A = this chain, B = another copy of it.
Amino acid sequence: MYTTKIEPRIGETDGLRHINNTVLPIWFERARNKIFKIFVPNFELTYKKWNLIMVHSEFNYLKQIYYGYDVEVRTYISKIGKTSFTIFQEAWQNGQLRANGKCVLVYFNFIKEESVVIPKDIREKLKEHYITEEELEKNNKNEIKENINKVEELDYFNLDK
């Protein structure tokens, strides 16, 4: 697991004064750079060198995320297959898990347009970030519980009354 700090923008809130749902995929993409570096160390964005393509993504919006407080994105690997793997990501704010999601990336040859078996050395590096979703959920429960009374935030619903 590694973490990425995100400082929300005003423009990422919407009229409901929370972070809009379309923003999460963007934050999560930013936080995947360290994984991309494992596959393409110099980040070369050409068909010859780039070798990852996304086939699926999903997101759970658990609690509202607000402007004015940093967000910590935590990035894990939750599955390593033959030619594909799954990145699991969470957005934490003020000690609470606000959203999570995962995406499936295929190790891909853009020139031949076909998937390729993930080599052993890359596989080893992915394993450093590996955790099962079940294990993660268990860990999170404790952390959320410990932090629950520390959360102090603007209460927009009442401010607006």
A16 within 8 A of B: yes
Give the number of residues in A that approach B within 8 Å (Cβ atoms).
Answer: 50
User: Are B26 and A157 interface neighbours, CB within 8 A?
Assistant: no
A56 within 8 A of B: yes
Q: Find chain B residues with CB under 8 A from A54 CB.
A: 21, 61
A11 within 8 A of B: yes
User: Are B60 and A45 interface neighbours, CB within 8 A?
Assistant: no
Q: Mark A1-32, 1 if CB is under 8 A from B, else 0.
A: 00010010111111111001111011001100
Residue of B nearest to A154 (CB): B44
Query: Which of B20, B23, B46 is the one whose CB lies under 8 Å from A160?
Result: B46
Assembly CA distance A36 to B9 (angstroms): 11
Ranked nearest first, the 7 interchain pairs of A and B with the lowest CB-CB distance are A15-B45, A43-B68, A58-B58, A11-B20, A13-B15, A15-B17, A22-B25
